[in-house]
Amino acid sequence: MTSNTQIKALDVPTAIVQRRSIKTFKQDPISPELLKQLVELTVAAPSSFNVQSWRIVLVQDQAQKEALCAASWKQQQIIQAPVTFVFAADAAAGGKDLTPILEQGAATGAWNEGTVNYFRGAIPQFQASLGDKRREYAIKDAMIAATNLVLAAESLGLSTCFMNGWIEEQVKAIIGAENDPDTGIAVLVPVGYAAEPRLNPGRLPLSVNVSVDRLDNPYQG
């Protein structure tokens, strides 16, 4: 069993540079303490108006893993890794009862009374103005949280894989959201200990896909 009691966390730049998408995992479990730390670091992510519209499901049960694997074109990293984070997104979150979020913001001192009163009306209005883009905004917030997860995991000695290639309706059914049209699936992220390393495939020169002010002005830094 892999020990994680002696891990010295990597700094953020090192975790960013070192991280690779791992396709094969050991079946070593993640300790409950480490898993909780990962969850806490994941949900520390920012979100629009702090609505926190992500809905994260930790898939650990063997039958659930097998079903999720089948819904993901039989990608085996779901079976191998001890846990897969399913990042769902609630497109209707901003139109629901915001009292817990507003009260917590006030209690922490982050938001004064004026800000709370403004958000009480502004958040539902903004959500309504998004129309069909509500899902897109919720998915963006979930992806930001997923990025927190993969960097936190890397810094704490774990490996991850951003997974595309899954059938949304099947994944929704597996997590119990098949009857909720407001729930979308953003990404699946298996988490565990790498069975084998992967090398950095490199990146294009910055001038290829980074620009200054306009797309026709390549960054030369």
The residues, ordered by sequence, that sit 6+ positions from 83 with a Cβ below 8 Å of its Cβ are: 30, 35, 58, 59, 60, 190, 191, 192
Q: What angle do CA 3, 9, 14 make, to 5 degrees?
A: 125
Which tokens go with 141?
């917030």
Task: Report the residue count for the chain.
Answer: 221
With beta carbons less than 8 A apart as the criterion, state whether 192 and 17 touch: no
Residue in the structure block whose two tokens are 């139109």: 95
Is residue 170 helix, strand or coil?
A: helix
CA pair distance 75, 71, nearest whole angstrom: 9
Digits of tens for pLDDT over the chain (221 positions)?
444 456 789 999 999 999 999 999 999 999 999 999 999 999 999 999 999 999 999 999 999 999 999 999 999 999 999 999 999 999 999 999 999 999 999 999 999 999 999 999 999 999 999 999 999 999 999 999 999 999 999 999 999 999 999 999 999 999 999 999 999 999 999 999 999 999 999 999 999 999 999 999 999 98
- Which 8-state DSSP code applies to residue 123? H
Tokens 């094969």 locate to: 24
pLDDT value of residue 3: 43
What pTM was computed for the model?
0.95
Q: Residue 47 phi/psi, 5° resolution?
A: -150, 160
- Is 55 in contact with 89 (CB distance < 8 Å)? yes
Phi, psi of 159 (to 5 degrees): -125, 160
Q: Which residues pair with residue 149 across a beta bridge?
A: none
Sign of CA dihedral 103, 108, 112, 116: negative
Question: How much is the pLDDT for 7?
Answer: 73
